[in-house]
Chain A
């Protein structure tokens, strides 16, 4: 009996992860920019010891005093050399009590931040390839740092294409930046589900733009974020176009409470998305998101 247990015990000696930080660091809001009627972009500076600077795709837990905490992906990059000059950028859509409180802050207000948590987009994996970014609605926020990284290192990529979809022109986020991105070498194509009289742009689903945006399927690295059904359709379209599933990365979302693989909420089959995600390869995600109510 003891011998059998011993082999079991061997398996139980994992490399222990670093201390899970359950206590937020305090940050102060330095700017608040309204993106549209329900979405704002906040810039935060550390008051206490700053958290390690997040990578594109990672998320933090943002705390509104007395209201609660929610996971939010970072939507910008901080290149500060001194961590005290760190600026965290988050773009938040008001959908519940906590996100509403976070959207209603003013410069000078204080928030709590834990993190960074999870996997990143692994932008370096796209070096030397065509970069195709497919975003739906608020899904553009976690992808913005991918695009900014690509534009900062523009020569490393052959083509940099952003396909952005929104429900209506008024729901678009970062609309003031689209032309700046274009001028810096990105091919930006926008579509909306429903236009209006003054909308001269495209109307239709973002997935319909994919076929035309691909030049070299095997040499394309795709980054996809949006509602889960949109990511599935986009990824399946990409696969149909010849992009290998392993070359497609998606950012999945589940309820998250701790960010440290301790609370059990963010399970998606074998994955704990706060640790094994949120960004995963579509080869890994496909069989999981295909199961209803998983």
Chain B
């Protein structure tokens, strides 16, 4: 027992132990979701057996490119973030909110009353764990459907020892070590002592599950080796983003020329918003059946790149691609702070990989920063004030809000 946390000191399990962990979770009634190789990518879906995990598969990432590759070892978690994220399960792409039926006096509304499934997420990367925390902040209002699904989730995180070419979680302080919010966290070790996983425990539920898995106490040397593998990963990020003052940079960059430049490449397809683990925007669709006796309201993911997203009678508020890319980036890195108290980016790199034209968020920020600095120098030379950002945080500004 660790005196400071009250949870067991790190344990060690082997490949069989990983299988045991899966079995214990299934026996507890969890639907275990994890990474599997499917359709040329590592995707997330319900596992029927631990053998489905992507043993020996890695990925090669580049702006606008994703390729599976065979690894020289049999690592299970030796791959970076795939096209999907866990929001697919916690904040589903399509969901019925309620249905209504015609009655003589009008209509009657019935809530969708399906029980949320009890999920165990196996292999949550630190960037994605942080992303779940960010979506919690936005969506987990008490008694919301999101909160209902989220409450019962058992999280097995995986500390990252092999960041990809487009990863920059270290810049966003979201990895490569798993932050708070997991029940168990694995660190995969493949060395002369074999293929093993160091298991950190961070909840009662985690402690309860791990005691039912065949494990041994981890010796100091193994613990040190695991920790140092994660620390080394921080230095091997394929991308870097200067995270300082991003909120201010975004607020000062609304009239930057760079937006037109990026808009000349951006297809406004919305792939980045679908792949992003924190993008949460939704719209609703109302419909009836052919008889008109039955109506439903569905919620589905929406994207700020869609022209209809900002539609008001008379037209869209953001007709240009430049304004829509600007909305996405300034929200993610800037106004997210005003609205939800932190950055909305976790540095997973998905938006870079899944952009069909390979727009690289880290490059765009660099360009905006360079433009801003140039502008500031020019203004200083001319003796003018700098920036056109808003004066203070939204929370301070809405004074009358009760």
Interface residues in A44-68 by Cβ distance below 8 A to B read: 47, 63, 65-68
Q: Is the CB of A12 within 8 A of B284?
A: no
B341 interface contact, C-beta 8 A: yes
A33 interface contact, C-beta 8 A: no
Q: Is the CB of B281 within 8 A of A287?
A: no
Contact pick for B394, options A24, A47, A276, A291, CB 8 Å:
A276
Please measure, in the bound complex, the distance between the C-alpha atom of A28 and the C-alpha atom of B107, giving whole angstroms. Answer: 11
- Which size class do A's interface residues fall under? 35 or more
Please measure, in the bound complex, the distance between the C-alpha atom of A263 and the C-alpha atom of B280, giving whole angstroms. Answer: 7
Interface residues in B90-127 by Cβ distance below 8 A to A read: 97-98, 100, 102, 105-107, 109, 111
**Assuming A1-B179, A8-B173, A11-B341, is B323 touching A65 (CB within 8 A)?**
no
A239 interface contact, C-beta 8 A: no
Q: Is the CB of A5 within 8 A of B397?
A: no
Fill in one digit per residue for B140-171: 1 if any A CB lies within 8 Å of its CB, else 0. 11111000000000000000000000000000
Please measure, in the bound complex, the distance between the C-alpha atom of A5 and the C-alpha atom of B323, giving whole angstroms. Answer: 33
Contacts of A294 in B (CB 8 A): 254, 317-318, 323, 327
Please measure, in the bound complex, the distance between the C-alpha atom of A19 and the C-alpha atom of B141, giving whole angstroms. Answer: 6
Contacts of A19 in B (CB 8 A): 141-144
A130 interface contact, C-beta 8 A: no
Please measure, in the bound complex, the distance between the C-alpha atom of A95 and the C-alpha atom of B315, giving whole angstroms. Answer: 11
Please measure, in the bound complex, the distance between the C-alpha atom of A258 and the C-alpha atom of B281, giving whole angstroms. Answer: 10
* Prevailing SS type, chain A contact patch: loop
A26 interface contact, C-beta 8 A: yes
Interface residues in A73-90 by Cβ distance below 8 A to B read: none
B287 interface contact, C-beta 8 A: yes
Q: Is the CB of A4 within 8 A of B173?
A: yes
Interface residues in B277-321 by Cβ distance below 8 A to A read: 280-284, 286-288, 292, 295, 297, 302, 304, 309-314, 317-320
Identify the interface centre among B138, B254, B311, B331: most chain A CB within 10 Å of its CB: B254
Contacts of B133 in A (CB 8 A): 9, 12
Please measure, in the bound complex, the distance between the C-alpha atom of A28 and the C-alpha atom of B335, giving whole angstroms. Answer: 40
Fill in one digit per residue for B231-274: 1 if any A CB lies within 8 Å of its CB, else 0. 00000000000000000000100110000000000000000000
Q: Is the CB of A8 within 8 A of B179?
A: yes
A194 interface contact, C-beta 8 A: no
Distance (Å) between the CB of B203 and the closest chain A CB? 14
Contacts of A188 in B (CB 8 A): none
B137 interface contact, C-beta 8 A: yes
Q: What number of B residues sit within 8 Å (CB to CB) of A?
A: 72
Q: Is the CB of B320 within 8 A of A264?
A: no
**Assuming A1-B179, A258-B282, A263-B283, is B106 touching A110 (CB within 8 A)?**
yes
**Assuming A6-B180, A19-B143, A110-B105, is B338 touching A270 (CB within 8 A)?**
yes
Q: Is the CB of A2 within 8 A of B179?
A: yes
Please measure, in the bound complex, the distance between the C-alpha atom of A114 and the C-alpha atom of B21, giving whole angstroms. Answer: 45
Distance (Å) between the CB of A93 and the closest chain B CB? 8
Q: Is the CB of B106 within 8 A of A291?
A: no
Binds A, one of B189-197, B218-226, B385-393: B385-393
Q: Is the CB of B138 within 8 A of A281?
A: no
A292 interface contact, C-beta 8 A: yes
Interface residues in B339-355 by Cβ distance below 8 A to A read: 339, 341-342
Q: Is the CB of A17 within 8 A of B394?
A: no
Please measure, in the bound complex, the distance between the C-alpha atom of A264 and the C-alpha atom of B330, giving whole angstroms. Answer: 13
Q: Is the CB of A276 within 8 A of B281?
A: no
Q: Is the CB of B342 within 8 A of A280?
A: no
Please measure, in the bound complex, the distance between the C-alpha atom of A122 and the C-alpha atom of B401, giving whole angstroms. Answer: 9
Interface residues in A213-268 by Cβ distance below 8 A to B read: 253-255, 257-258, 260-265, 267
Specify the chain A residue showing the minimal Cβ separation from B146: A262
Q: Is the CB of A119 within 8 A of B323?
A: no
Contacts of B106 in A (CB 8 A): 26, 28, 47, 65, 109-110
A160 interface contact, C-beta 8 A: no
Mind listing 10 A-B residue pairs with CB under 8 Å?
A1-B179, A2-B179, A9-B133, A65-B102, A69-B284, A255-B312, A257-B302, A267-B331, A271-B338, A272-B339
7 smallest CB-CB distances across A and B, nearest first, come from A110-B106, A270-B338, A264-B281, A293-B323, A5-B179, A66-B288, A95-B313
Could you tell me which B residues sit within 8 Å of A by CB distance?
97-98, 100, 102, 105-107, 109, 111, 133, 136-144, 173, 177, 179-180, 251, 254-255, 280-284, 286-288, 292, 295, 297, 302, 304, 309-314, 317-320, 322-323, 326-327, 330-331, 334-335, 338-339, 341-342, 388-391, 393-394, 397-401
Besides A22-B98, A276-B401, 13 new A-B residue pairs in contact (Cβ under 8 A), listed by A number: A5-B179, A122-B400, A254-B310, A257-B283, A263-B281, A265-B302, A265-B309, A267-B331, A271-B338, A272-B339, A280-B397, A281-B400, A287-B389
